[in-house]
Structure 1
Amino acid sequence: MTSSSTPGLTRFNTLADGEATPALHEVCASAAWGETVLAGRPYATEEALLSASDAAMAELTAEDLAEAMAGHPPIGRPKPGDPTSSREQRGMAGASEELKTEMLELNLAYQERFGHVFLICATGATGEQMRDAVKSRTGNSPEQEQEIVRTELGKINRIRLTRLVRETLAEEAPVQDS
């Protein structure tokens, strides 16, 4: 998908701003990030869209990062009825009650230390990997943690943007089932 536009990307590029803005907000709750990505349309390739997302993420202020993080529920507690957070946190779904309790305590300690939820790109991570990450990151300085959060948000945004463009493509494809 690096040499030409796909039907899903074309649809994203041609959405009215009023339709694209809420779709981008589902990817990342930062208004500044969404405005920057929206302003870069049309994108020639999926990779160009992802690169624009990365560039927009790099420019976010501390306040913009806080706004982006506010759109993410704590690990182990996906938003009820939100398939995105449930899918991304699948690694905690089968965790033992002991691990879930430990994660809750670790999340609270992290939040007490840094003033925001523990954020990690949880897609594909096990509950144990997430637990180990929060344990190791709690010792970081606030400045170190802010940059780690920026990187993790960038990873999440890439996954969500890819899904957005590819799901858009799937929605447009004719149904072949009988």
Structure 2
Amino acid sequence: MSLAEHLNALEEAEAAEALRSCCAAPRWVTRMVAARPFPDEASVLAMAERIWWSLGRDDWLAAFAAHPRIGGDVEALRAKHGRSASMSETEQAGVSGASEATLQALADENEAYEARFDHVFLVCATGKSADEMLAILRERIDNRPSRELRVAAEEQMKITRLRLRKLGA
């Protein structure tokens, strides 16, 4: 079953739950559910982007809050966000083989990032090693807050696209 067929076949509450696992911004979920039926996957992805970029800071922060810290406590997030946290754990698989020094640096840098920007460091972690993610974090920590919010929103959209495609797989 294609992504569009899958989303179209779900009851409203089921569709909302499935979409929330891709992006936890409540207004994004509500608008995506309302946009059904979709003719094809390209339409789902285009609508996801259109809705995402029509939202603002508060919606973006709500989506970011559903993500665990890179290398952080996924179990705590799983209790809070269920399926979304399980996806995060899979996406962050590159952290599992990291050295103790890298894990400690990630913890320290994440703390500094959150103190500076008031939200979790967000990167599309799929296929990236812990060292790569640490380097990206270190590059981005010097961004202006307005720039970093936009970069994090772009990363969220990458994650959302990947997760939507997984729904249709």
Question: Hey, what does 1:134 align to over in structure 2?
Answer: 137
Q: Verify: 1:28 aligned to 2:23, yes or no.
A: yes
CA contact (8 A) 1:78 1:86 kept: no
Q: Which residue of 2 aligns with 1:92?
A: 95
CA contact (8 A) 2:3 2:168 kept: yes
What CA distance in whole angstroms lies between the structure 1 residues aligned with 2:67 and 2:6?
27
Whether contact under 8 Å (1:78, 1:85) holds in the other structure is no
Which residue of the partner structure matches residue 70 of structure 2? 75
Identical residues among aligned pairs (%): 34
Q: CA deviation at 1:23?
A: 1.0
Instruction: Give me the whole-angstrom Cα distance separating, in 1, the residues matched to 2:38 and 2:24.
Output: 21
Residue equivalent to 1:107: 110
One of 146, 151, 159 as aligned partner of 1:143: 146
Q: Does 1:124 align with 2:119?
A: no
TM-score by length of 1: 0.86
35-44 or 113-122: which moved more? 35-44
Equivalent position amino acid for 1:35 in 2? T
Which has more radius of gyration? 1
On the 8 A contact 1:13/1:43 being kept in 2, the answer is yes
- Whole-angstrom distance in 2 between the partners of 1:47 and 1:27: 16
Q: How many angstroms does 1:162 deviate by? A: 0.5
Residues 105-153 of structure 1 deviation map (CA, whole Å, 9 limit, x = unaligned): 0000000000011000001111111001100100000110011011000
2:81 equivalent in structure 1:
none
Using the size of structure 2 for normalisation, the TM-score is 0.91
Amino acid in the other structure paired with 2:120: V
Deviations 1:148-170 (A, max 9, x none): 0110000000000000121xxxx
Q: Please state how far the C-alpha of 1:14 moved relative to its aligned partner.
A: 2.0
User: Which residues of structure 1 form unaligned runs of 5+?
Assistant: 1-5, 167-178
Number of residue pairs matched by the alignment: 161
Superposition deviation, residue 83 in structure 1: 2.9
Map Cα deviations across residues 77-106 of structure 1 (whole Å, 9 max, x no partner): 251264311110011110001100000000
Runs of 4+, deviation exceeding 4 Å: none
Provide the rounded CA distance (Å) in 2 between the counterparts of 1:41 and 1:35: 11
After superposition, the Cα gap between the structure-2 partners of 1:56 and 1:78, relative to the gap in structure 1 and judged at 3 Å, is farther
| 8 Å contact from structure 1 (residues 110, 118) kept in 2 | yes
Supply the AA of the counterpart residue of 2:33. Answer: L
Q: 1:166-177 alignment to 2 at 5 Å?
A: 166=169
Distance 2:97 2:73 in 1: 13
1:44 aligns with 2:39: yes
Output the amino acid matched with 1:126: S
Structure 1 equivalent of residue 82 of structure 2: none
Q: Look up the SS of the partner of 1:108 in the other structure.
A: helix
* Uncovered stretches (5+) of structure 2, i.e. residues with no partner: 79-84
Secondary structure of 1:121's counterpart equals coil
**Structure with greater proportional helix content:** 2
